[in-house]
Amino acid sequence: MKQELLKNRAWVEIDLSNLEYNINQIKKIISDKTKIMAVVKANAYGHGIVEISKKLNEIGIFDFAVATLDEGIILRKNNIIGNILILGYTSIENLDYVIKYDLIQTIIDEEYAEKLSSIPFNTKLKVHLKINTGMNRIGIHYSNVDFIKKIYSYDNIKVLGIFSHLCVADSCKKSDIKFSNTQIDCFNNLINKLKASNIDVGKVHFQSSYGILNYPELEYDYVRSGIIMYGVNSEINSYSMTPINLKPVLSLKARVTSIKEIHKGESVSYGRCYKALKDEKIATISIGYADGIPRNLSCKKMKVLINGELAPIVGRICMDQLIINATNLKNINQGDIVTLIGNNKVSAEMISYKSNTITNELLSRLGSRLNYIFIDERK
Ligand SMILES: *Cc1c(COP(=O)(O)O)cnc(C)c1O
């Protein structure tokens, strides 16, 4: 691994033992009856979908959720075992691939269900029904009970589950809690009506990360865990009524490439928006916005970690490089490793907060040219 590290300019380090740690923390919150469905969409939130899913298989997770057909196929081509649910839209023309790769398709609305109903699949298409309980993104409206019952009777599909999604589970505002409880009631009423008609509803699931933390009393068949499984909160002050200790799985690293002295008044980088207030030492780092560092964190809005010390980014962040003020660093050399995202000194939550977004976006938008290094202390 040392050798591999030396060659890299900018890379992601994934600590798989921290993934296992976070899974165990989540298990402590959910009921014994409930299983974790691991959400590994968007390249496992930038963590590497294949290696993350392999590790999850090793530690006994056999239920996955992805956003797209292609993500599901990647898992199957890499011999991931278990159920794989596609949460989003798959074009009707591509449903044969859902069957071929033994995936499960979400029925995303009424129109989609009707289009499906007349297709003569060779093998029954496995599906979960998505129910719209108020988010108004995708889903069959919860009030369409008779229509939902009818879908269970289609003979070209096998309905293996039914689920919905909370849209303000991360809020402690009274009105938001009330809204979530209404969503839960609408969903539960629907499930009860279906069961009262002797329908085997299949696996039932509702909560994602903040549903797990803020509605822990719910006991469905699955929780769909995304962001907290990766060891970070969505936001620095997102609300969680259940304390959970998480360890970030991902670190983003790069190198010091060039160190130089500049004189008072000299400017740095495009736009000349930084000018040295005195004679200063600056250093160039081998990572930029194309690697996922938000450009709106230019000019001292973000700090990076070098040999245990923090240093601010000065001037504008470029596509492939950025520049820091190294004047106060005791120890910096060409080739040194720089941590941009990682432990609590440079947390994903803080960086997301400063760039006006959430960790889910920051991590899932890391650049595609980064190298990946996977570490598993337990091996
Ligand atoms: C992305 C997604 C999740 C995971 O959400 P987190 O907040 O990251 O846990 C769960 N369910 C659905 C439907 C999603 O789209």
Residue-wise pLDDT for 2-30, tens only, equals: 445 556 899 999 999 999 999 999 999 99
Is 270 in the active site? Answer: yes
> Over 90: is that where the pLDDT of 200 sits?
yes
Q: What is the pLDDT of residues 250-286, one digit of tens each?
A: 999 999 999 999 999 999 999 999 999 999 999 999 9
Q: Which of 41, 55, 253, 303 is catalytic?
A: 41
d(CA 289, CA 339): 15
d(CA 69, CA 89): 8
Substitution site in 39, 135, 137, 171 for ligand 1 pocket (most atoms within 8 Å of beta carbon): 39
Give the residue among 151, 164, 87 at the shortest CA–CA distance from 124. 151
Token pair listed for 95: 């449903």
Q: Which atom of ligand 1 is nearest to the CA of 45?
A: 8
CB atoms within 10 A of CB 137: 11
Q: What is the pLDDT of residues 218-233, one digit of tens each?
A: 999 999 999 999 999 9
Q: What is the pLDDT of residues 100-118, one digit of tens each?
A: 999 999 999 999 999 999 9
Q: What confidence tier does 1 reach under pLDDT thresholds 50, 70, 90?
A: very low
- Enumerate residues lining ligand 1, CB below 6 A: 39, 41, 87, 165, 208-209, 224-227, 360
Task: Name residue 261's beta-bridge partners.
Answer: 281
Predicted TM-score (pTM) of the model is 0.96
Q: What spatial distance separates the first Cα and last Cα of the chain, rounded to whole Å?
A: 14
Is 41 in the active site? Answer: yes
Report pLDDT for 8: 86
Q: Count the residues in the chain.
A: 379
d(CA 107, CA 162): 9
Q: Which atom of ligand 1 is nearest to the CA of 39?
A: 4
Report pLDDT for 27: 98
Beta-strand ranges (E) seen in 201-271 are 203-205, 222-225, 250-262, 267-268
